[in-house]
Amino acid sequence: MFKKILYILSLIFCISGLFGQQHLVSGEIVDDTGIQLPGVTVIESGTNNGTVSDLDGKYVLNLSSKDASVVFSYLGFKTKTVAVNNQRYINIILESDVEELEDVQVVAFQKQKRNSVIGSISTIKPAELQQPTSNFTAGLAGKLAGVISYQRSGEPGQDNAQFFIRGVTTFGYKNNPLILIDGLQVTTDDLARIEPDNIASFSIMKDATATSLYGSRGANGVILVTTKEGTKGRAKVSVRYENKFSMPSKVNKFLEGVSYMNLYNEALRMRDETALPLYSRYKIDGTQQNLDPNLFPNFDWQKSLIKDYTENKKLNLNVSGGGEVAQYYLSVSHNIDNGLLNVDPLSNFNNNIKINRSNLRANINIDLTSTTEIAVKFSSLFERYNGPIDSGSDIFKSVMQANPVNFPAYFNNIPNQEIFNHTLFGNKGLGGYPNPYADMVKGYRDYSQSTILSQAQLRQNLDFITPGLELRAMASIKSYSRNSTQREYTPFYYGVAEIDTEQGVNYFLYQIQEGTEYLNNPEVSTESNSNTYYELITEYNRGFNDDKHNLGALFVYYASESLNTLNNENAFSTLPRRNMGLSGRVSYNFKEKYFTEINFGYNGSERFAEKERFGFFPSVGGGWMLSEERFIKSLLPKFTMLKLRFSYGLVGNDGISSEQDRFFYLSDVSFNDGSTGYTFGNDFNNYYDGYNINRYSNPNVTWEVAKKTNYGLEFEYNNALMVQLEYFTEKREKIYQAWDYIPETMGLTSTVNSNIGEVQSEGVDISLDYNKAFKNGLILTGRGNFTYSTNKILVNGEPDYPFDNLSRIGYPINQDWGLIAERLFIDEEDILNSPEQFNGLSSSVAGYLPGDIKYVDINGDGIINENDYTPIGKPYIPEIIYGFGFSAMYKNFDLSVFFQGSARSSFTIRKFGQDEDIAPFIGERNALSYIADNHWSVNNPDIYSFWPRLSTESVPNNDQKSTWWLRDGDFLRLKNIEFGYTFSPDKGIFKNTNTRIYFTGVNLFYLSKFKLWDPEMGDGGLGYPPQKVFNLGLQFNL
Amino acid sequence: MIMKKIPYIFIIFSMLSCNDYLDIVPDKTQELSLLFERKNAAYTALVTCYSYLPENDHLYETFVMATDELTTPFAKEPAGTDLMKGEQQSDNPLLSLWSGYNQYDPNSQNSLFEGIRACNTLIDNIDNVLDMSLTEKLVWKSEAMFLKAYFHYLLLIKYGPVPIIDINLPISASVEEVKVKRATVDEVFNYIINTIDTAIAGLPPRVINDNNLGRIDQVIAKSIKSRVTLFYASPLFNGNSELYSTFTNNDGVHFFNQSYEQSRWELAADVAKEAIDAAVENGIEFYYYNDEPLETDKRTYQNSDFLKSIYNNRYVVTDRWNDELIWGHSRPVGSNDDWWWQIQAGALLKDPNSSRVEAAWQWVSPTLRMAELYYTNNGLPIDEDITFDYNNRYDLSYVSSSQTLQAQYGQQTAKLNLNRESRFYAHLGFDRGHYRGWGYKWDLKMRKGEIHGRLANSNDYLTTGYALKKIVHPDSEGQTYNLLVDYPWPLIRLAELYLNYAESLNEAYGPTQEVYDALNLIRQRAGIPNIEESWSDPAIAKNVNKHTTKEGLRGIIHNERQIELSFEGHRYNDMRRWMTAHIDFNTPVYGWSVDATDINDYYTKIIVGQRTFLKERDYLHPIKTSELTKNSNLIQNPNW
């Protein structure tokens, strides 16, 4: 692979070696905010000799003389002429020409002038999204106003960040946005794997006006990405190479053997005074003295499973250019991402996660005639994965499953070891204790997947029918397939048995489980899906009466189909998904001062009964460019732009339930269900499956509808500060939801659902941009944005609760319910004087003791039980995401710093009863060292200790969701810091090129009240942590 | 050129008719009615009704573990043990037949109300099937009818008053309609009895086809009816003004009738007699082992009635489909390969001859109380037998040559383990006793470090020093799980009918010869003297002629029932219906000192666990809190 790239590279170098002119001048062109300007026309004054600046604003021009003048011109900017005077390197700042500003904005199905946009849309320059992580979604948090995002895991391939536009505003099934790349619906994974270098524009659409054209699909907002296209001119080459060192942002600490055993024995006695210690003095002493590690293991599972850091690489290469007829943009990139798992030295296959990903993209535009344009876009993504059988995250979690002293990962240095040619994995007793190391190394999983997308577009100017009319058509096919295999052997488990002999204790190994010496046959699975999409668009834009009246109209017809072959699914999942619809927009503005717009989507989805199959989603909006008014100009002269916007409308959501749960007008019955099967007969051989009703039919099920209102204010102050302020409200109705009032006595085997849920949301998004170019060449850019989104449930089908604290009405969707923990019990008397908790009796085995959690009797009924659950903390998904940062450029140096924060969220640190629970000792599992330092004990009866009275079993009284386990999820992190140096293009090997090296640090530190693990992981603190990355990059343009 | 074609493109797009494009589900995909078109499919509906039968042979779901019969090490927590420890709670109730439960097994017990709904669905729809005869439809309908009644019965004896679900409410039922009310205990009993009667009329007399064993017939229905009427007459449900005088519905009606009705015992006696007659008529008889004994036992077996009795009682539960079994659960746990959930896996001893580490768990052990419950070889309780050294029963004694069938000759064991009835030796294993299994007779050595004792630091051990044989098939082996031998768990067997009969006759009419005769059939198989013989002999009985008084005989009947039906899941319900559970289920668990190696230390009685059972609360199970929230018409059981 690499060889090929090098070959291509060298070829390109050869082609572009055009030297020999008299005077070469080069430089960078930026606007007054410091942002590079591509496509600026650079012409030697008085000649036809010229060029355009490349995508990064760089230009190189051969002049006929060293005394010539150069003219820089660009639409929307004041033209600038500079005398060369023997200079080789001329950097230019072009000042924007406000009067001429004809900035365009990508909106649904078309582009509009930025000024005339009424909908709520946030846009970001693709360069801002450039981040040395292989997952594009990881960089979204805090970058765009209106995005709530967080990343819970840093595992390569599984590290998609969660993101929601204006927060989660429904408790229905699908709550994430519609993602479109070049107009095509794609998955979150597709977005995660996009190359930032290939992105031409990135916008999110938030309100009804912006999204109602997407009708049934747009209720959760839309992310719109377009990829770069070629521009006329010579071939421009751009190469980026990055080498990254990646490591956990924070690592959990576990107890070592001796403390573990002492604490375990203590925990045992805490619940049963008569209990014999599990770990004898002899074993503890032996461990302390580091005697034979087979007999006295003191094993650090974390160290054996997980490395300190890993190294990743990335290469991106793109070429663009073109002539009069055709323009092209070609890009190749390759990523290598590695996991943090240790590789077993004892077997030849690699268990560590390794992902090799190649991206190929070709965008070609052909001007067939002066009025007809064809665009062909082709992109493919190949990915090869190799990794352990369980996910990397499971391996991180598995450290909790084994304690340091039961057995080592494998036995070593035992007599007669040479007779075994397999690893002697450790276990004890009858086996069955988790050995995370064996689980990690016993096999591997690999898959190769490919996504191929091809797209053809036709654009026909119909000015000959009537001026301003245009027709566009697009057809596209996307296919995805994935083949996975998994191979493993059965580990041989051994245990140590001790015998008391005259000479003292002796030991021997005995086999607990017979394994296999060979890998078994691979388990193969295949998954594939294909999508087809067609659209036909008629667009009309025309100004009348000297552009006093501007009229626009757009009609879209589309049909899409998606076919899945998934394993192990039900009768419905293999049927295609189809959508079709007609959407439209009519816009009118008067003198670009007063704007109005009507949009609609009329969409059909295959999921519903015939009468509910189509939905109609209209919206209206209006805008007022105040800064065009004379009185404002005189009143507020410093406001170079000031605009008010308003919109209201409906948007639908047909993703109200999972793939398998469609066609709500039909019931879903499994006619062959093993769980309701029975056997008759002498030998119990006469087996029959039973049936099970998975869903009861309901022909009235229909779309979920969002009623969105948006108020916007945007202004530009003094040509330097851009501010956008938006306030929105949304009422989500007809959320598909189970009726929770149905008791068990109905005997139903599934819930009964219908469109009953309602949620009211509101929030604010703010973005600030500040740009300042100083005379001495320093360019400063500041950016900040803030998103706040909150909601409350209005209707959710809950039963008529006997106690108000149980009702979720009026509380956010992701609000946690739990008990209020007051403190720990002081003594028996305290227990007797408090309300009874969970029918537990302080005297019974199941009871609770001093040092266990005391709860508040919220409903005042004298007992503590489920009915005392009450809203605790803040929602699980943060209500506030913000980000801010600055960048500075001075001469050849640049520096940018970006902070990102999250606020108003909370999470519980326990996952009760699960493998991920941090409760120590249960089933002899591991223990976090934090617990050893801070727990209630007889000697230290602190009623506010971190951990209550220890136990080696789960304590039902303490294993309740409560404020005791609740933590604040707020944090502020240094998300990104980048320092770069650009080589002057007039020296040595950098001649005629634009070369920049840079160092990036990601997630270098964070501030949070929570001390155990990275707070962004929420309750999954034992999983694969988000990564801290150190990156060294090289960028090269030609 | 191209422009001219554009209109055509438009036409092509609009030709796709919208509704056809979106109507993609093929016909006959998913409708419940499709089940009731052909017999074959309808059979799945019948099977579904049966699938809701609770699994009493499931280690983690059985009520056998929920009494003072068995115990487990502290670290093991089958739901039954948790229940006995007092860990029941209303938010997430253990072993809840009302709301379903699932301790480990994903296929575990769903709410019995789902089972009732499945039965009603079959009853409502079976007439639509085209290729079935009317008689056959009636049989299926009657089976569903019986199961529906049985599910109500199971709920009734755990919860007391329950709602009667005779017809299914439609899915579209309103919020108010679904809030069903609890019927009174008497209403539920009458509903169950009537429904079983209706079912009996349509059922075949006896299912004999090998392929259909496990399906309901008249003998089964009549036998279960006998048990239902016995509960109907028993103190917990008959005039319980002691516990439930204030437990009423919203209209002030008592859920439990407040005055005792003697006539219910008469009914119970009649129904038991009817069931016995039906059973005997259909060839059901007491089980006697009729196979070859082990090679090592062969010589003794011919001449020893005692050894024969041991064999008879060792196999009575586990010998598949034997003549005594009236209704067996024909889906043993593990038929879906989840062998390890079987209760016998937990009780099975590890194979001393195998060098491998076995799959047997060896941690379910009978309590010392059970060891003390069995009779002496004179057929009397150990504290009522003059010849038995009751006061020194924990002292050691050498096994004499006359006791070689009881324990290992020349070894020492507690006196408690010697001179007992054959059922003691058939059901329980103890240190220096014998264990027959896997084709051998082995000598048990159960002190710490010994071959059947607790291994160093192992959590798999018998906490009391007793091993359970009764429910472990003698051929079950422990190397791997699939060497466990399945047998149909007895849901009802003939011995119980005679015990039901004896108990209800005595309660209704006092001691009569008929009562003695019924009990003597059981004692005969147990190899002990007849009741009159044992209790009339002043040389052995402390309490001579105890059997001639109603109260005395009641005690004897209860005792006999506890021994004969031990470890089969009856004790939890019997002790509750007699209202003695709060006494026996509220004491510490005792056992030998299994962590001792020295013989004298080993035979020291110690506390190995705790039990809690509150009289005011635990006779009835709690209704899940969330269920009460959904249905405000439900009233929680007292003190939950």
pLDDT in tens, A168-214: 989 888 899 999 999 899 999 999 999 999 999 999 999 999 998 98
A263-291 residue pLDDT tens: 999 998 888 887 788 898 988 999 999 98
Choose between B150 and A889: higher pLDDT: B150
Top residue of B53, B83, B91 to mutate, by most chain A CBs within 10 Å, is B91
* Stretch B49-55: mean pLDDT: 94
Residue A501 in this model has a pLDDT that exceeds 80: no
Q: Does B134 touch chain A (CB under 8 A)?
A: no
Contacts of A932 (CB under 8 A, 6+ apart): A255, A259, A263
Q: Does A460 touch chain B (CB under 8 A)?
A: yes
pLDDT band at B457 (very low <50, low <70, confident <90, very high): low
Q: Say how many Å lie between the first and final Cα of chain B, rounded.
A: 84
Average pLDDT, chain B: 90
Lowest-pLDDT choice from A157-161, A840-844, B169-173 = A840-844
At A555 the pLDDT is: 94
In A815-969, which ranges are continuous DSSP H helix?
A: 828-832, 929-933
At A241 the pLDDT is: 95
Say whether A562 sits in a helix, a strand or coil: strand
At A12 the pLDDT is: 42
pLDDT band at B2 (very low <50, low <70, confident <90, very high): very low
Candidate from A429, A690, A692 with C-beta closest to B458 = A429
Give percent above pLDDT 70 in chain A: 94
Residue B107 in this model has a pLDDT that exceeds 90: no
Residue A21 in this model has a pLDDT that exceeds 50: no
* Stretch A875-895: mean pLDDT: 93
Lowest-pLDDT choice from A94-98, A129-133, B302-306, B320-324 = A94-98
A934-975 residue pLDDT tens: 999 999 999 999 999 999 888 888 999 999 999 999 999 999
* Stretch A152-164: mean pLDDT: 90
Choose between A317 and B458: higher pLDDT: A317
* Stretch A387-404: mean pLDDT: 91
Please indicate whether, in this complex, the C-beta atoms of B178 and A743 are within 8 angstroms of each other: yes
Residue with tokens 């107890």: A255
Chain B residues 275-294 with CB within 8 Å of chain A: none
In contact, B43 and A671? CB cutoff 8 Å: no
Q: Which range scores top for mean pLDDT: A577-586, A746-755, B415-424, B433-442?
A: B415-424
Q: Does B208 touch chain A (CB under 8 A)?
A: no
pLDDT band at B120 (very low <50, low <70, confident <90, very high): very high
Please indicate whether, in this complex, the C-beta atoms of B625 and A867 are within 8 angstroms of each other: yes
Q: Does A953 touch chain B (CB under 8 A)?
A: yes
What secondary structure letter does DSSP report for B401?
G
At B36 the pLDDT is: 92
* Exposed/middle/buried for residue A615 (C-beta within 10 Å: 0-12, 13-18, 19+): buried
Question: Which structure tokens are listed for A146?
Answer: 């209106």
In B1-133, which ranges are continuous DSSP H helix?
A: 2-15, 18-22, 39-51, 79-85, 112-125
Q: Does A507 touch chain B (CB under 8 A)?
A: no
Top residue of B15, B171, B450 to mutate, by most chain A CBs within 10 Å, is B171
Residue A49 in this model has a pLDDT that exceeds 90: no
Residue A739 in this model has a pLDDT that exceeds 80: yes
At A873 the pLDDT is: 93
Give percent above pLDDT 90 in chain A: 51
**Residue A253 Cα distances to A318, A437, A952, A1012, B465, angstroms:** 45, 18, 20, 9, 42
Q: Does A888 touch chain B (CB under 8 A)?
A: no
Please indicate whether, in this complex, the C-beta atoms of A498 and B336 are within 8 angstroms of each other: no
At A798 the pLDDT is: 87
B548-597 residue pLDDT tens: 999 999 999 999 999 999 999 999 999 999 999 999 999 999 999 998 88
Residue with tokens 């397999």: A422
pLDDT band at A585 (very low <50, low <70, confident <90, very high): very high
Residues of A with CB below 8 A from B51's CB?
Answer: 675-678, 690
At A63 the pLDDT is: 84
Q: Does B167 touch chain A (CB under 8 A)?
A: no
Choose between A523 and A586: higher pLDDT: A586
Minimal Cα–Cα distance from A742 to chain B, Å? Answer: 7
Say whether B27 sits in a helix, a strand or coil: coil
At A891 the pLDDT is: 82
At A370 the pLDDT is: 87
B56-82 residue pLDDT tens: 899 888 999 999 999 988 767 788 988
Please indicate whether, in this complex, the C-beta atoms of B31 and A669 are within 8 angstroms of each other: yes
Residue A458 in this model has a pLDDT that exceeds 60: yes
- Taking the C-alpha atoms of residue B373 and residue B558, their distance in angstroms, rounded to an integer, is 11
Residue A328 in this model has a pLDDT that exceeds 50: yes
Average pLDDT, chain A: 88
Question: Which structure tokens are listed for B560?
Answer: 């006999």
Residue A381 in this model has a pLDDT that exceeds 80: yes
Q: What is the CA angle A295-A297-A301, rounded to 5? A: 150
- Taking the C-alpha atoms of residue B168 and residue B180, their distance in angstroms, rounded to an integer, is 12
A692-725 residue pLDDT tens: 998 888 888 999 999 999 999 999 998 889 999 9
Question: Which structure tokens are listed for B499?
Answer: 């015990």
Ranges assigned E (strand) in A221-325 = 222-227, 233-248, 310-322
Burial profile A441-471: b = 16 or more Cβ within 10 angstroms, e = fewer: bbbbbbbebbbbbebebbbbbbeeeeebbbb
Please indicate whether, in this complex, the C-beta atoms of B115 and A747 are within 8 angstroms of each other: yes
- Taking the C-alpha atoms of residue A652 and residue A616, their distance in angstroms, rounded to an integer, is 8
- Phi–psi pair at B466, nearest 5 degrees: -115, 145
Top residue of A569, A746, A955 to mutate, by most chain B CBs within 10 Å, is A746
A841-883 residue pLDDT tens: 544 555 788 999 999 999 998 889 889 999 999 999 999 999 9
Residue A75 in this model has a pLDDT that exceeds 80: no
pLDDT band at A774 (very low <50, low <70, confident <90, very high): confident
**Residue A591 Cα distances to A237, A545, A546, A588, A625, angstroms:** 42, 10, 9, 10, 10
pLDDT band at B151 (very low <50, low <70, confident <90, very high): very high
Candidate from A430, A460, A838 with C-beta closest to B3 = A460
Residue A11 in this model has a pLDDT that exceeds 50: no
Q: Does B626 touch chain A (CB under 8 A)?
A: yes
Please indicate whether, in this complex, the C-beta atoms of A845 and B609 are within 8 angstroms of each other: yes
Residue B193 in this model has a pLDDT that exceeds 60: yes
- Taking the C-alpha atoms of residue A708 and residue A890, their distance in angstroms, rounded to an integer, is 45
